[in-house]
């Protein structure tokens, strides 16, 4: 157990967190040399696996046909939103603003279509190969045949989730034929549980936080020898699935003639829950694009788990509940009190910093993005926009900003039912009205 009084005298930022004030934590180790347990070759391996599965997606998920079975999202320039933000900003954004619209990713409508789905594919491939039913050179469309579903049905897949990870894994694992259980924290939206049950997934609900749900999920998988546990708190497969985004983004940057070099720095704003998806993407970007891309994480003031873990260096050994804060946020995708075991370690030298934000402003940004660009995202996914203004002053001290490119990672939202989305928008409009008074 950590002594919190001692810790907060060593790290005064903890007192700010306890008061729910916004903080910017600048990573003192950014750009130092480090040995990492994974490298570029692992990203290429993951991309090759996605390519092998492309023919499978074409037959099993026909909505992926137009992209030839590749799950990818567009990179959108959002000039209107930039004007809206700059009209109210204390530090006007220089350079151009883009949205990486993972809210439009097929299958789960969120960034979890990268990591979550990737780990299911990797497991399925291994099972099929071990059974002597698949070789790497096969056309993987055959995995959609009934005999494979029958084979996979002898295996279980278990995951703990606040919502979207369960959704992505549940949908794909069930389609492959796996016996799938998703353990959901109390933050998970009802529609996600309903949809999963409709698909045949076993949904176990807890009236408790994510740390509890994932602990129970892990325990249930340990008791079942046929079950494979997908560990959001420490899986490198999840991590590498997310990292593939960097290869895809590099292609999109080139296609849109966006230069990245010393005079044209690229800033990428990523929301962090356990820190798995933003770390995976950030790792990929640093490996693929290099020194002139600078990743920045966004976290709610009420649940800044990765900030707390990284600034104290305790990573997964400390949770926001240890410092007595409530963990309450409308950003359900970020409602995670304890960071993953790998996020802080992998980000130690690769992350520029973390900025926290207030829910009210995030909700406002959800509505503004809808009004300005006609793009709907879930609350978590707007938080990259929410932190923009706060970090510009800091960035200006370190980089030339005139020719900067800013990419806000919109992590989810296209599967949110209309009634839920209307509620988010109503909340956001009332925040807009408050600031206009």
Ligand X SMILES: *Cc1c(COP(=O)(O)O)cnc(C)c1O
Q: Considering only residues 53-82, where is the footprint of ligand X by CB under 6 A?
A: none
Asked if residue 112 binds ligand X (CB under 6 A), the reply is yes
CB of 340 to ligand X, least distance (A): 7
Q: What are phi and psi of 301, to 5 degrees?
A: -60, -25
Asked if residue 187 binds ligand X (CB under 6 A), the reply is no
Among 27, 64, 73, 110, binds ligand X (CB under 6 A): 110
Q: Is the dihedral of CA 103, 77, 276, 421 positive or negative?
A: negative
Ranges assigned E (strand) in 303-425? 353-357, 405-410
CB of 42 to ligand X, least distance (A): 18
What binding mask, one character per residue, do residues 316-345 give for ligand X by CB under 6 A, x or -? -----------------xx-x---------
Is there a contact between 294 and 363 (Cβ–Cβ < 8 Å)?
no
Among 38, 176, 249, 272, binds ligand X (CB under 6 A): 272
Closest CA to 168 of 206, 115, 217: 115
Nearest to ligand X of 144, 380 (CB atom) = 380
Nearest to ligand X of 110, 144 (CB atom) = 110
Q: What are phi and psi of 157, to 5 degrees?
A: -120, 130
Nearest to ligand X of 93, 159 (CB atom) = 159
What DSSP assignment string belongs to 232-267?
TTT-HHHHHHHHTHHHHHHHHHHHTT---BTTB-EE
Asked if residue 381 binds ligand X (CB under 6 A), the reply is yes
Asked if residue 111 binds ligand X (CB under 6 A), the reply is yes
Asked if residue 38 binds ligand X (CB under 6 A), the reply is no
Asked if residue 380 binds ligand X (CB under 6 A), the reply is yes
Ranges assigned E (strand) in 86-136? 96-101
Q: Considering only residues 141-170, where is the footprint of ligand X by CB under 6 A?
A: 164
Asked if residue 271 binds ligand X (CB under 6 A), the reply is yes
Cα–Cα distance, 379 to 413 (Å, whole number): 8
Question: Which residues are CB-contacts of 172 (< 8 A; sequence separation ≥ 6)?
Answer: 107, 116, 117, 120, 121
Q: Which DSSP state fits 350?
A: T
Among 170, 276, 353, 384, binds ligand X (CB under 6 A): 276
Nearest to ligand X of 144, 414 (CB atom) = 414
Cα–Cα distance, 361 to 303 (Å, whole number): 15
Residues within the interface to ligand X (CB under 6 A): 110-112, 164, 271-278, 333-334, 336, 378, 380-381, 411-412
């Amino acid at each position: 157990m950590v002594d919190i009084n001692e810790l907060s005298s060593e790290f005064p930022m903890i007192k700010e967190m306890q008061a729910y004030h916004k903080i910017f934590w600048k990573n003192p180790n950014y750009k130092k040399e480090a040995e990492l347990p994974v490298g570029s070759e692992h990203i290429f391996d993951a991309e090759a696996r996605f390519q092998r599965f492309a023919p499978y997606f074409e037959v099993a998920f026909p909505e992926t046909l137009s992209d030839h079975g590749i799950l990818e999202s567009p990179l959108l320039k959002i000039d209107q939103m930039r004007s809206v933000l700059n009209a109210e900003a204390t530090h006007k954004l220089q350079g151009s603003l883009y949205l990486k619209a993972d809210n439009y990713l097929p299958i789960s409508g969120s960034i979890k279509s990268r990591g979550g789905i990737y780990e299911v594919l990797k497991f399925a491939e291994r099972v099929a190969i071990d059974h002597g039913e698949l070789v790497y050179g096969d056309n993987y469309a055959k995995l959609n045949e009934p005999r494979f579903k029958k084979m996979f049905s002898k295996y279980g897949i278990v995951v703990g989730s606040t919502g979207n990870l369960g959704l992505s894994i549940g949908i794909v694992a069930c389609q492959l034929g796996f016996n799938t259980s998703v353990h959901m924290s109390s933050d998970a939206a009802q529609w996600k549980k309903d949809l999963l049950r409709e698909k045949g997934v076993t949904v176990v609900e807890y009236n408790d936080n994510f740390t509890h749900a994932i602990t129970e999920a892990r325990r249930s998988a340990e008791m079942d020898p046929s079950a494979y546990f997908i560990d959001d708190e420490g899986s490198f497969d999840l991590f590498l699935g997310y990292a593939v985004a960097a290869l895809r983004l590099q292609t999109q940057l080139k296609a849109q003639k966006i230069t990245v070099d010393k005079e044209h720095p690229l800033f990428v704003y990523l929301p962090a829950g356990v820190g798995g998806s933003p770390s995976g993407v950030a790792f990929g970007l640093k490996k693929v694009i290099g020194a002139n891309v600078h990743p920045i994480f966004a976290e709610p003031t009420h649940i800044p788990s990765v900030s707390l873990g990284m600034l104290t260096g305790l990573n997964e050994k400390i949770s926001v509940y240890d410092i007595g804060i409530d963990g309450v946020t409308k950003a359900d995708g970020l409602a995670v009190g304890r960071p993953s075991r790998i996020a802080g370690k992998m980000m130690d030298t690769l992350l520029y910093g973390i900025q926290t934000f207030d829910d009210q402003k995030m909700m406002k940004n959800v509505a503004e993005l809808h009004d300005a660009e006609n793009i709907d995202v879930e609350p978590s996914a707007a938080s990259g926009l929410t932190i923009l203004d706060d970090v510009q002053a800091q960035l200006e001290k370190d980089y030339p900003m005139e020719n900067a490119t800013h990419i806000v990672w919109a992590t989810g939202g296209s599967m949110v039912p209309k009634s839920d989305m209307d509620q988010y928008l109503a909340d956001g409009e009332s925040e807009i009205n408050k600031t206009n008074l």
